[in-house]
Amino acid sequence: MPLVQSVVYETLRLSPPVPTQFARARKDFTLSSNDASYEIKKGELLCGFQPLVMRDPTVFDDPETFKPDRFVGEKGAELLNYLYWSNGPQSGSPSEHNKQCAGKDYVTLTAALIVAHMLRRYDSVGGEGLNITAPLEKAK
């Protein structure tokens, strides 16, 4: 089911379930991006806008295009380090020191099962952009 899981990740990348995330810095640190770095002081309010981050062309090739197989294979696994919709990278694991959503893997697995179930029920499923269509007749 790697392709189905990739479709879920790609859908969440283009339409993040939590578009804006806020946090306070717990210590002084340097925040670095591809082209700049910023000195962050303890107590400062930070805001991340996911729809912008998830379309970074230095990370995602052709970021505005839905690519169902973007997260398949070694390169796809590496891109999971840049998916931050659960208060941390998709490749991370929740723990007492990592305050990611404890249900992040459950959510993506449930979404993959829904997609797999939908694909099982129909002979063909098509779409354009973020719209999905299926014929009215069930598969035999």
Distance CA 116, CA 130 (A): 17
Please count the other Cβ atoms lying within 10 Å of the Cβ belonging to residue 8: 22
Confirm whether residue 101 is marked as ligand binding.
Answer: yes
- Known binding site for heme: residues? 101
- Known binding site: residues? 101
